[in-house]
Amino acid sequence: MSAKSAAPDVAKIQAIAREAGALLMSHFGKVEIEYKGEVDLVTVADRETEKLIVERIRGLWPKHDITGEEGTRTSSGSDYRWYIDPLDGTTNFAHGYPVFCVSIAVEDVKAGERVAGVVYDPTRDELFSAEKGSGAELNGKKIRVSKTPKLSEALVATGFPSFKRHKNPNIHFYHQLTLRSHGVRRAGSAAMDLAYTACGRYDAYWEFNLNPWDTAAGVLLVQEAGGRVTGFWDDPFDIASKEVAASNSVLHPELLKEMQAVFEGRGLEELADPVEYSRTRRY
């Protein structure tokens, strides 16, 4: 197959994701941990799974370029680039918490858009997939974003970085949006948060400090399921950006309005005083 014959077949990507998920499950519960930074974990499972995925891609599409979380980098000028997160939710995985996934996406470099994406949760055997212009699916059945019309009725999601958390402002957004939504969840996997937004389990999702392999597949899922993905100021989503705001489209303007109010310090609710609470609480 030449570098520019056709976009890779999503069924073959699904097969790779399932094989990678099976490898992750063989390690689950018996993890050997290393540290990339202060608390930025990497496991044997991360590295072995990325190696497997890269081998499968190179076997089927040897001329394609690859960007992987665990260090795989090839840049030959190919028309296609793969974004691989072999284990999104590493901290969960390392602690035996069953919320993690494999995320694989393919980008048409010249068009500047993702053309196929797969997110696989091996603990639930849930395979999310999307092709550009063909919609999104969960285990072979079409999915759509929710129809929730108001932020006050919405279940939304976010995440926090494992590294340099003290420099991340998201706790302020978490606080304000908790008060203005039906609830905020923090599951620990950006790719799964996006997949859940695509299938309507979440109505919206936002996060800071993400990488292309975190978002490439999930963003396509949301878009193909009828949702909307932008930057925090309603700018078009950029794979190189570290910010993502995704929603069912209907409540996107309200989500961004609330986020921009936090950026500007408008209408912020004060946090409860823990000292005062301690004095007045009843046993």
Instruction: For 198-207, write each residue's pLDDT tens digit.
Output: 999 999 999 9
Question: What's residue 164's pLDDT?
Answer: 61
Residue 283 has pLDDT above 70, yes or no: no
CATH class assigned to 10-142: alpha beta
Question: Angle 10-27/44-60 helices, nearest 10 degrees?
Answer: 160
Pairing of strands 228-230, 244-247: antiparallel
Instruction: Give the count of beta carbons closer than 10 Å to the beta carbon of residue 174.
Output: 18
Apex CA 192: angle with CA 188 and CA 197, to 5°?
115
CB 73 within 8 A of CB 59: no
Residue 3 has pLDDT above 50, yes or no: no
Give percent of the chain above pLDDT 70. 91
Token representation of residue 52:
């497997």
Question: What's residue 30's pLDDT?
Answer: 76
Tell me the CATH number for domain 151-264.
3.40.190.80
In which residue ranges of the chain is CATH 3.40.190.80 found? 151-264
Residue 1 has pLDDT above 50, yes or no: no
Residue 40 has pLDDT above 90, yes or no: no
Apex CA 204: angle with CA 201 and CA 206, to 5°?
125
Question: What's residue 44's pLDDT?
Answer: 84
Question: What's residue 276's pLDDT?
Answer: 86
In which residue ranges of the chain is CATH 3.30.540.10 found? 10-142
Question: Whole-prediction pTM value?
Answer: 0.92
- How many CA within 13 A on the CB side of residue 30? 4
* Residue of higher predicted confidence among 267 and 250: 250
- What would the mean pLDDT of 24-49 be, rounded to a whole number? 75
Of 176-185, 254-263, 267-276, least confident by mean pLDDT is 267-276
Question: What's residue 270's pLDDT?
Answer: 87
Q: How confident is the model at residue 280 (pLDDT cuts 50, 70, 90)?
A: confident
Question: What's residue 7's pLDDT?
Answer: 76
Question: What's residue 35's pLDDT?
Answer: 59
Of 77-81, 102-106, 133-137, least confident by mean pLDDT is 77-81
CB 67 within 8 A of CB 84: yes
Question: What's residue 2's pLDDT?
Answer: 41
- What would the mean pLDDT of 277-282 be, rounded to a whole number? 83
Q: Phi and psi (nearest 5°) for 7?
A: -65, 145
Question: What's residue 193's pLDDT?
Answer: 98
Residue 126 has pLDDT above 90, yes or no: yes
Question: What's residue 272's pLDDT?
Answer: 83
Residue 145 has pLDDT above 60, yes or no: yes
Instruction: Give the count of beta carbons closer than 10 Å to the beta carbon of residue 33.
Output: 15
DSSP H helices, 70-211, are 90-94, 170-180, 190-198
